[in-house]
Structure 1
Amino acid sequence: MIGILLAKLRLFLRFPWPFIGMTFICLIFAYFIGQGNEIKVSIPVYSNIENIETNSLWKQLKASDTFDFYLTSKKEVNKIVSEGKAEAGVELKQDSYRIIITSKTENVNLVRQYIETVYADVFRHDQIVKAVSSQANIEITKLKDTLAEVNETPIFSLNRANFRGDQTVVIDGKLQAIYGFSLFFVIYTIAYNVLHILLEKNEGVWDRMILSPVRKWEMYTSNLLYSFVVGYIQVVLIFLVFRFGAGVDFYGGFGKTLILLIPYVFSIVAMSILITSIVKNTQQFNAVIPLVSVSMAMIGGAYWPLEIVSSDVMLTLSKFVPITYGMEALKGATVYGYSLSELMYPMSILFLMGVVMIGIGINFMEKRRI
């Protein structure tokens, strides 16, 4: 078995381009589609305030989770807004602001409300500093430091909830794209590695190997183990690039995602051996794999979140697709903050699917005369 694995490794090192190409394509798709799901609204800003980037007003504006304020010139703001590239532009003054618009939209009202809130907070802070410093022998710098410390560590905290409670749906566009395309593209990487079993059987390689001391279970195990490792490494590399290269927030669950990938990759290896046992040649395999992978991605929530699907038929079909449980586990570990014990259900389903498919696949392959 070790000899087969070493031979596979040498072949991989000699011709790694399919693996590299598939990984690169997945990174491109996930990055650009994830950027397209960005929920922040860009708002151009100009101001005559000196050193505005160090001003507390600008720092509070930049802290918004909804709007992305960026500095530019007055001429550029007017141009961007007039061409419809931004819904609004803002002129910031020391004690007031002005919004530049071409049409009144809901986002314009939200921008106005947010800016008014920021100005009110800044003015209140300044008034407290002036009032206290004028009546007590307190240095302004120490007073500002004290106020900043109070804001960071308040005496009490508020918990906010809505009528939906625990049923609230949270969708992270970037993670949706990363998870969806990673789980989708790894199907091709794994499937075309498992295909070598069919090719080697057709070429009589297995017949010659059976005459050697290598046992048949070792031949199956080495091929499937190699396919598993290559597929797992591909997804891990993609996650590492987005986590440490692009700085994507995994909500503290990055380590858990690496564990959750194991049952998913195993189920895809099992599915690939099942498909390989059914088809008769490479042409049939090339026709079946895209059909199966794209269908599973659409039904399983790789292209769009299942949370927005209302069709009972589609949701029922998704229960029979490995991608569904892979997405559920990954999003549960990151977006929803579930522990590994709470994710045992999707992991168990994936392992069960894998065991059933790999058992049926090997049984079919052994019974069929090639």
Structure 2
Amino acid sequence: MMNILKSKFLLLARQPASFIIITIVICVFAFVLGLGQQAKVPIAVYSDLKEDLTNDIVEKLNEFPLSKFTIYEEEEALRKVEDGEVDVTIHLQNEGFDLIIAPDYMEAPVLQNQLTTLYGEIMQKDAILNSFPLGMQSQVETVLNEAEQHPSFQVHYSNFSNDEGFIWDAKLQSLFGFTLYMVIYTVANGVFHIVIERRNNIWDRLTISSMSKTKIYLANLTYSFLLGYIQVALVLSIFNFGVGVNFYGGYINALIAVIPYLLCIVALSIFIASISNTPGKFNAYISVVAVPIAMIGGGFWPLEIVTSEIMQAISYISPIKYGMDLLYGVTLFGEPLTAMIEPISVLLFMTVLLMGLGINFLEKKEQR
């Protein structure tokens, strides 16, 4: 078994082009999609509220790292979104707010969620102040500000998916999503050797020797897993130590959390290999499968912005959904690995099911 593994890695060292190219592609696309757009998105604001309350809301809004909110008169704010100078105009009102958005603006659900949370907090504070006489409002405001700085309770979400509110990090979304998507091709490239070797009857020569078929399978599957894991660890390390992406203290846990996902992708690749008669069909099937599971699994965009209930339901069959849940859970949501039982269990179930079917089909093919 160790000799097979050694030969696989020697072959990789002699022909590393595919591994290096995919790694570079992951880094470039993750950087461009998540980190390359450092300029803040301009957003226009006009308001029916009092000037001081409007300024308070806009000041809080400008704490968002990816947007720049500017107050305009109503006509100018509407003109800017009509002329395409801004993608969004926000109309602040006493009873809520309206979003006037450009047709191609895709971040409206994210912005609406952020605004709803912030708007509720500020309006609640304003209502509390207005309930006191003018002479006491400054003192009450001081007390409220002190309470914000030093809250009596620390709230912690125990649900890793944080269903109470949509929290999103564009940098982690592009990094995790594109990494989980592209590593499918790396793992499949490792499994591809099984297809070639079986087609060229190399396995027949190995089984004639003292090497058992179990060891041959184990060596090839271990190589495919390690190939994918090395690539994921390399990419995450580059962005953690080199680019400075904030992993929210979950970098080490992220390296562990990705293991069940990679095991599932190895099993998926084995299953696809079992139904592919030729190397060409194997490559075609991998491409046909990889893109849809990335799209429906939240690899290219957050699932929270998908409004179709059908698409939300279909996402549960995608390994990438559970991979994203794991990585987001241990980083952005700060959950321990012990809280990730659900996605880990689903990925391991998929692994056992697909691996069992794949190896069974491969063995039946050999017996024909």
- Do the structures match in fold with TM over 0.5? yes
Deviation at 1:38, TM superposition (A): 5.7
| CA spacing shift, 1:247–1:16, aligned 2, 3 Å | same
Q: Which runs of 5+ in 1 are unaligned?
A: 44-60, 70-85, 90-98, 111-150
Matches of 2:213 and 2:66, distance apart in 1: 60
Distance 1:201 1:66, change over 3 A: same
Contact 2:188/2:266 (CA < 8 Å) preserved in 1?
A: yes
Q: Deviations over 1:316-365 (max 9, x none)?
A: 11111111100011111111121211111101111111011111100000
Corresponding residue for 1:303? Answer: 300
Residue number in structure 2 paired with 1:156: 150
| 1:201-238 CA-partner distances (Å, limit 9, x unpaired) | 11111111111111000000000000000100101111
CA distance in 1, matches of 2:4, 2:229: 19
Letter in 1 for 2:304: E
Contact preservation (8 Å) 2:39, 2:66: no
Is the contact between residue 322 and residue 344 of structure 2 (CA under 8 Å) also seen in structure 1? Answer: yes
Match of 2:123 in 1: none
- Quick check: 1:8 aligned with 2:20? no
Does structure 1 retain, via aligned residues, the 8 Å contact 2:192–2:273?
Answer: yes
- After TM superposition, give the deviation of residue 159 of structure 1 in Å: 6.7
Q: State which of 354, 357, 363 in structure 1 corresponds to 2:354.
A: 357
TM-score by length of 1: 0.69
The match for 1:22 is 22
SS in 2 for 1:31: helix
Counterpart mapping for 1:207-286 below 5 A: 207-286=204-283
Q: 1:66: which partner in 2?
A: 64
TM-score scaled by length of structure 2: 0.70
Give the structure 1 partner of residue 284 of structure 2.
Answer: 287
Structure 1 vs Structure 2: percent identity of aligned residues? Answer: 42
Give me the whole-angstrom Cα distance separating, in 2, the residues matched to 1:342 and 1:39: 36
Q: Which has the larger radius of gyration?
A: 1
Q: Which runs of 4+ in 1 moved over 6 A?
A: 86-89, 105-110, 158-161
Contact 1:275–1:285 (8 Å) recurs in 2: yes
Aligned to 1:52: none
- What's 1:138 paired with? none
Q: RMSD of aligned C-alpha atoms?
A: 3.3
Whichever residue aligns with residue 11 of structure 1, its letter is L
Measure how far apart 1:41 and its partner are. Answer: 4.2
Alignment-mate amino acid for residue 363 of structure 1: N
State whether residues 250 and 331 of structure 2, in contact with CA within 8 Å, keep that contact through their aligned partners in structure 1. yes
**Partner of 1:332 in structure 2?**
329
In 1, Cα distance between the equivalents of 2:39 and 2:236? 21
Residues 108/360 of structure 1: CA separation in 2 closer, same or farther (3 Å cut): closer
236 and 67 in structure 1: CA distance in 2 versus 1, 3 angstrom threshold: closer
1:42 touches 1:67 (CA, 8 Å); kept in 2?
Answer: no
Q: Deviations over 1:96-148 (max 9, x none)?
A: xxx9xx954678999xxxxxxxxxxxxxxxxxxxxxxxxxxxxxxxxxxxxxx
Query: C-alpha separation between the residues in 2 aligned to 1:295 and 1:255?
Result: 29
Deviations 1:227-255 (A, max 9, x none): 00010010111111111111000111111
Gaps of 5+ in 2: 44-58, 81-87, 93-144, 156-161
Q: How big is each residue's C-alpha offset from its partner over 1:181-206, in whole Å with a ceiling of 9 and x where there is no partner?
A: 00000000001110111110111111
- Taking a change above 3 Å as real, the CA distance of residues 317 and 166 of structure 1, as seen in their structure-2 partners, is closer
